[in-house]
């Protein structure tokens, strides 16, 4: 659906050139919710703004639904852009216009006949759960309600793609959840491909199917969200994951560890605890659980346990191998003394 090919964005500033995106290639499939994660300045906004040509790429190209937007001129580009909706962190609503007028504005810009506008706005308001706010001004709405108006406006012209630039970063956790549920519903029911940029891994964990992690304009890791949570390859990815699933042990606990400290990751429905108790019975090792939980990446369980294994080096190695053979992944955090 969206193909980003060797894309770079360089800004010309008074102090010289600033790199926003540096040679990024990504494919985002139709019907997917794709998360782009990174700290401030990583290049997320620059990348996403190149998708709808709010920023023009310096190098490379982007095709959306088979069309290379960089090759389109005036009217054709305007038409193509109507199929890419966008929502923003600070909503970008026009404060002097009512909710109705804010949404109708998008329809007028797309030259929708005026006799169709009112019914379409009503339909959009019902979809985002704001039918009763039709005639109020943005100033009278909560943050979550403002973002719902932003979503209704972005969906007005039946886009195929919805770009979300830190769409929940200004909202409290409960409101964030309700907006994410709404995005999930839009993705499922309207088959809209969603590209979502965020610095919050919670957001990705809650709704994204695949994700990319960006740092200094580059993608440092990319793939299926569940697989990335289960076995992150990059240090920055690990850091982001630890913000939502943390297994850091307090220093006094770590000091007492004399055996081999391992993190065992069970994917899916594997009965992790029974594999570990089998392992303890089969080998001459003692297992001491120090930390553990089963987390859910959307609906899929991911079990992570941190444990200390005590025993002969050879037995500990065999025990680790045994767990790995039973479809789990073992990371040795600290080798036994
Ligand atoms: N219009 C611009 N002019 C000059 N430099 C820019 C411009 N927009 C972004 N940059 C620079 O490009 C780099 C990437 O910024 P970008 O906003 O894309 O990152 P980000 O990951 O979205 O961060 P944030 O979440 O803070 O917006 C930064 O160094 C930034 O200063």
Q: What is the ipTM of this complex?
A: 0.96
Residue-range definition of the domain harbouring residue 109: 2-241
Give the pLDDT band (50/70/90) at residue 82: confident
> Are both 136 and 196 inside the same structural domain?
yes
Give the pLDDT band (50/70/90) at residue 284: confident
**212 in a domain, yes or no?**
yes
Ligand 1: residue whose CA is nearest its atom 29 = 41
> Are both 217 and 167 inside the same structural domain?
yes
> Are both 259 and 228 inside the same structural domain?
no
**Cα-to-centroid distance, 37 and ligand 1 (Å):** 14
pLDDT at 336 over 70: no
pLDDT at 93 over 60: yes
**Cα-to-centroid distance, 43 and ligand 1 (Å):** 6
CATH of the domain at 223: 3.40.50.300
Ligand 1: residue whose CA is nearest its atom 24 = 40
Which ligand 1 atom is at minimum distance from the Cα of 9?
A: 12
Paired tokens of 286: 């003692």
**Cα-to-centroid distance, 41 and ligand 1 (Å):** 5
Q: In a mutational test of the pocket of ligand 1, which residue from 12, 19, 20 has the highest number of ligand atoms less than 8 Å from its CB?
A: 20
Q: What is the pTM of this model?
A: 0.88
CA-nearest of 127, 123, 125 to 99 is 125
- Reported as a single tens digit per residue, the pLDDT across 23-54 is 999 999 999 999 999 999 999 999 999 998 88
**127 in a domain, yes or no?**
yes
pLDDT at 277 over 80: no
> Are both 255 and 172 inside the same structural domain?
no
Of 175, 207, 241, the residue that ends a domain is 241
Angle between helices 114-127 and 143-155 (to 10 degrees): 130
Burial of 31 (0-12, 13-18, 19+ CB in 10 A): middle
How many domains are contained in the chain? Answer: 2
Cα distance between residue 104 and residue 246, in whole Å? 45
Using a 6 Å CB cutoff, which residues line ligand 1? 11, 13, 18, 20, 38, 40-46
Ligand 1: residue whose CA is nearest its atom 31 = 41
> Are both 135 and 181 inside the same structural domain?
yes
């Amino acid at each position: 659906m969206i193909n980003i090919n060797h894309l770079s964005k360089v800004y010309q500033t008074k102090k010289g050139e600033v790199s926003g995106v540096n040679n990024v290639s990504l494919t985002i499939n139709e019907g997917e919710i794709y998360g782009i994660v990174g700290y401030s300045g990583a290049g997320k906004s620059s990348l996403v703004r190149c998708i709808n040509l709010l920023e023009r790429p310096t190098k490379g190209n982007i095709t959306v639904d088979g069309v290379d937007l960089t090759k389109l001129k005036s009217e054709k580009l305007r038409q193509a852009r109507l199929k890419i909706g966008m929502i923003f962190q600070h909503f970008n609503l026009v404060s002097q216009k009512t909710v109705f007028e804010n949404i109708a504005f998008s329809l007028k810009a797309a030259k929708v006949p005026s006799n169709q506008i009112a019914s379409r706005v009503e339909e959009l308001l019902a979809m985002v759960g704001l039918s009763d706010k039709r005639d109020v001004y943005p100033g009278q709405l909560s943050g979550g309600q403002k973002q719902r108006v932003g979503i209704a406006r972005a969906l007005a012209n039946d886009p195929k793609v919805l770009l979300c630039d830190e769409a929940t970063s200004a909202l409290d956790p409960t409101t964030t959840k309700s907006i994410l549920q709404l995005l999930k519903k839009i993705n499922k029911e309207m088959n809209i491909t969603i590209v979502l940029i965020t610095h919050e891994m919670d957001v990705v964990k809650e709704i994204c199917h695949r994700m990319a992690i960006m740092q200094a304009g580059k993608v440092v890791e990319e793939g299926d969200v569940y697989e990335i949570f289960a076995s992150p390859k990059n240090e920055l990815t690990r850091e982001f994951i630890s913000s939502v699933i943390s297994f850091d042990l307090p220093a006094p606990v770590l000091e007492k560890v004399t055996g081999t400290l391992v993190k065992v990751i069970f994917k899916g429905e594997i009965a992790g605890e029974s594999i570990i108790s089998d392992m303890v019975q089969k080998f001459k090792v003692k297992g001491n659980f120090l930390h553990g939980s089963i987390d859910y990446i959307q609906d899929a369980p991911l079990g992570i346990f941190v444990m200390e294994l005590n025993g002969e080096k050879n037995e500990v190695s065999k025990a680790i191998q045994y767990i790995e053979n039973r479809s789990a992944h073992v990371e040795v955090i600290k080798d036994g003394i």
